[in-house]
């Protein structure tokens, strides 16, 4: 069992988890990164990342791959596509059981499971993710310079990002399923005052079309159930965010939005358990903020382990 015990097990192989793995393994901590998908997390969905400091432009997949290679080069072990059967975070020695690989234990744990943008779940959405469909205006807005785009949503984020996107796009059409917005009044006023923004209310996107990239959407009026088609260069879906915290809802302290509550040192309410990245309660979710969280969580875990020893 000795080779199945680690100093730290990191749950999640996105920007936060991989960064924590880099710091921990460089500090000579025996580190295991367990990832239910492929390494890179949300990064791999982004065709191009142009706002990562020190890197003019890179593909999300390439950046994720570089981080993974860094972590493994310092000695971190990574299990991708791993199904979690059970998890014990409350014992002094923590443990995780994986399908086909068995049980592993550790003295500390970092939860970096990230999250996912709430999808529309309509035909064509999966096909055109990263090829006309985006879930992050800050990440991808400048790729739509002088284009016509749609923003789906009616909350604060959707209207705020719609205004922000007018810096790039010639025209922004906000599509919202209700006849009123769920945003604060100043966001509504700012959007309505912008000459580049138009509104299609009481409507939903029913389908996405295109070839190599998105070119058209079908829109359904929810009151009349009539369909119209609209040529478009891009669509930003901004209808909410889902943290990947279902596995430990009854274990660590969460907000009412199911986000992990962590201190500024990324500590959870359980001793020896830290959290980092998009699964935590935070305002901004970017690759850079995830990397910062992962750095802090990794260093805090090193300190915790040093004090424990």
Q: What positions carry a catalytic annotation?
A: 136, 139-140
Scanning 92-233, the segments in alpha helix (DSSP H) are: 137-140, 156-165, 185-193
Give the H/E segment covering residue 71.
helix 60-73
Q: How far apart are CA 22 and CA 19, in angstroms?
A: 5
Strand pairing partners for 12? none
Query: Which is nearest to 80 in space by CA: 136, 21, 37?
Result: 37
d(CA 131, CA 273): 38
Answer whether 226's CB lies under 8 Å from 220's CB: yes
Distance CA 23, CA 70 (A): 10
Closest CA to 206 of 223, 225, 224: 225
Using CA atoms, how far apart are residues 43 and 61, in angstroms rounded to an integer?
6
Distances from the Cα of 178 to the Cα of 162, 223, 283, angstroms: 17, 9, 25
Q: Can you tell me which residue has the tokens 């086909």?
A: 100
258 Rama class: left (phi>0) / alpha (psi -120 to 50) / beta: left
Q: Where are the beta strands (DSSP E) in the chain?
A: 5-11, 31-34, 77-79, 84-88, 94-98, 102-111, 115-117, 133-134, 148-152, 171-175, 197-200, 203-210, 214-221, 227-231, 234-237, 241-243, 273-275
């Amino acid at each position: 069992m000795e080779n199945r015990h680690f100093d730290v097990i990191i749950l999640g192989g996105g920007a936060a988890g991989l960064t924590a793995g880099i710091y921990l393994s460089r500090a000579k901590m025996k580190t295991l990164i367990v990832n239910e998908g492929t390494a890179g997390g949300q990064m791999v969905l982004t065709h191009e990342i142009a706002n990562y400091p020190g890197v003019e432009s890179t593909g999300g997949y390439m950046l994720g791959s570089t981080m993974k290679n860094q972590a493994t080069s310092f000695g971190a072990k990574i299990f991708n596509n791993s199904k979690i059967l059970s998890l014990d975070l409350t014992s002094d020695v923590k443990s995780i059981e994986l399908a086909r690989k068995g049980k592993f234990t550790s003295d500390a744990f970092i939860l970096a499971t990230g999250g996912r943008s709430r999808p529309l779940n309509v035909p064509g959405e999966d096909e055109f993710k990263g090829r006309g469909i985006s879930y992050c205006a800050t990440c991808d807005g400048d790729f739509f310079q002088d284009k016509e785009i749609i923003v789906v949503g009616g909350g604060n984020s959707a209207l705020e990002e719609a205004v922000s996107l007018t810096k790039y796009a010639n025209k922004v059409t906000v599509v919202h399923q209700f006849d009123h917005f769920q945003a604060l009044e100043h966001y509504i006023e700012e959007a309505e005052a912008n000459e580049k923004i138009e509104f299609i209310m009481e409507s939903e996107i029913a389908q996405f079309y295109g070839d190599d990239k998105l070119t058209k959407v079908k829109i359904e009026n929810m009151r009349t159930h009539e369909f119209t088609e609209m040529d478009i260069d891009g669509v930003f879906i901004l209808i909410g965010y889902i943290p990947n915290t279902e596995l430990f809802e009854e274990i660590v302290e969460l907000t009412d939005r199911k986000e992990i509550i962590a201190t500024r040192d990324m500590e959870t309410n359980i001793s020896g358990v830290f959290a980092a990245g998009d699964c935590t309660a935070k305002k901004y979710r970017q690759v850079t903020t995830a990397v910062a969280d992962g750095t802090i969580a990794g260093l805090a875990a090193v300190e915790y382990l040093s004090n424990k020893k």
